[in-house]
Structure 1
Amino acid sequence: MSETSTATRTIVVEREIAHPPEKIWRALTQPHLISEWLMKNNFSPVVGHRFILRGEWGGVLDCEVLIVEPQRTLSYTWIFKHDDPLFNLNSVVTFSLSRTTTGTILRMEQSGFRPDQKQAYGGAKAGWPMFLAKLEQLVAETD
């Protein structure tokens, strides 16, 4: 087995949002808000908390909170199990917030895509910008 076959791929999406980190943090950590921009869930911002994300497409993601640094970093596992092993995904999603003079830079990184997971990688690469656009719209509409 060659070294390249075990390398994983990562998706990174960055957005500058004209709101403070505190406001974006709420959208990243409050279950009712997460439901509006990402998926239905039973999230709690507590390291070790296991939760589920339910996609409109019928899929269920098993997740566990790894890092909680309020207003700065949120990280959790993003695991999808499927009957076809090719579609199994064992990844980590990390959100980083950096305050700017005009708001916040939100950086989303999803790591752990195997080279043979072209469909999952392509779907995430297309999906995350849409999710983050919904998050930005939600933040603009909430107090």
Structure 2
Amino acid sequence: MSEPGAIAVDQFLAHPPAKVWRALTDSDLLARWLMPNDFRPVPGHRFTFHTTPRPAQGFDGIVHCEVLELDAPHRLRWAWRGGRLDTVVTWSLVPEGRGTRLFLEHAGFDPDDPVQRRTFTLLDGGWRSHVWPRLSQALAGLA
């Protein structure tokens, strides 16, 4: 973790930045490895992700998002709001050899809020153990 209240993960992907960018910005591809969505790569576009509700954490299963920054194929930022969260997810792509170093930062968690601490722990583990392997699998299936 880079700072309190932020999840930071980086992963080398053996695919060129343009291919990784496509997996991050194509709604159908994004749904394959993250969640069903109505994403469009347009700054200011509001979209949602849909997942399993977690009533004990005040989460109805809908993540409300907005594209905050789009700098193809280098950086993508979106607001991530759901339940008691009001956070920001930033994806940064850096060419590395024949592949891409993909950095993820999910920031804005309140470390003093017990529900947000639990959500932080869940998402930190999920980004690392669930999302990265699914993204790698989706990339492997792309031409």
Where in structure 1 are there 5+ consecutive unaligned residues? 1-6, 82-87
The answer to whether residue 89 in structure 2 is matched with residue 90 in structure 1 is: no
CA RMSD of aligned residues (A): 1.2
Deviations 1:100-132 (A, max 9, x none): 113000001000110122111101111101212
Supply the distance in 2 between the matched residues of 1:132 and 1:28 (Cα, whole angstroms): 12
- 2:57 maps to none
Q: How many residues align?
A: 130
Q: Quote the offset at 1:8 in angstroms.
A: 5.4
Where in structure 2 are there 5+ consecutive unaligned residues? 54-60
Supply the distance in 2 between the matched residues of 1:63 and 1:8 (Cα, whole angstroms): 22
One-letter amino acid of the structure 1 residue matched with residue 134 of structure 2: K
One-letter amino acid of the structure 2 residue matched with residue 68 of structure 1: L
One-letter amino acid of the structure 2 residue matched with residue 121 of structure 1: F
**Matches of residues 68-107 of structure 1 in structure 2 within 5 Å?**
68-81=70-83, 88-107=84-103
- 1:63 maps to 65
Supply the distance in 2 between the matched residues of 1:37 and 1:135 (Cα, whole angstroms): 5
For 1:40, what is the secondary structure of its paired residue?
coil
Percent identity of paired positions between Structure 1 and Structure 2: 39
